[in-house]
């Protein structure tokens, strides 16, 4: 297998869009956590605490997504440098590792999306248990 410079370069646009998406998710969750924390400090409500715990797990996943994506981008650059330096085997290894880390980043994204409804489920469960408290 021969790797050309253009092959690792194909990941650059995808990685930029993913980072934009990851950053937006992070910023949104940060603002939501600050808001929920203020409410929790005032009320000490167990439902708010459960939502904050759910969001904490999501933030850990988003940081992992960003880390795996950043390392993937770095390895793509190393792969392209390896191709330019005519070091095919290290370039291929770096590129395959970059692809694996990108897949891991996307796997974290899928799991984060899966649990993102957790805070809403917490509220829905609270409404079912005590419909009068939510008015």
The pLDDT tens digits of the residues spanning 30-83 come to: 788 778 777 777 777 777 777 888 888 988 999 999 999 899 989 999 999 999
The C-alpha R_g of the chain, in whole angstroms, comes to 21
- Grouping H, G, I as helix, E, B as strand and the rest as coil, residue 108 is helix
Residue 2 · residue 88 · CB < 8 Å: yes
Is 8 a member of any domain? no
Is 135 a member of any domain? no
Task: Provide the whole-model pTM.
Answer: 0.76
What are the backbone dihedrals phi and psi of residue 112, each rounded to the nearest 5 degrees, phi first? -65, -40
Provide the number of structural domains found in the chain: 1
Is 97 a member of any domain? yes
Closest alpha carbon to 117 in 68, 63, 57: 57
The pLDDT tens digits of the residues spanning 101-130 come to: 999 999 999 998 888 877 677 777 777 777
Is 118 a member of any domain? yes
Is 34 a member of any domain? yes
Boundaries of domain holding 119: 20-129
């Amino acid at each position: 297998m021969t790797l050309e410079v253009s092959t690792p370069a194909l990941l650059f646009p995808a990685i930029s869009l993913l980072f934009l998406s990851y950053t937006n998710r992070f910023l949104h969750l940060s603002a939501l956590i600050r808001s929920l924390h203020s409410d929790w400090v005032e009320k000490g409500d167990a439902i708010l605490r459960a939502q904050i715990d759910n969001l904490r797990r999501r933030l850990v996943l988003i940081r992992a997504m960003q880390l795996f994506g950043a390392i993937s981008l770095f390895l793509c650059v190393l792969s392209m440098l390896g191709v330019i330096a005519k070091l095919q085997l290290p370039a291929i290894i770096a590129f395959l590792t970059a692809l694996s880390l990108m897949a891991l980043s996307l796997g974290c994204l899928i799991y984060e999306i899966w649990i993102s409804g957790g805070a809403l489920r917490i509220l829905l469960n609270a409404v079912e248990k005590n419909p009068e408290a939510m008015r």
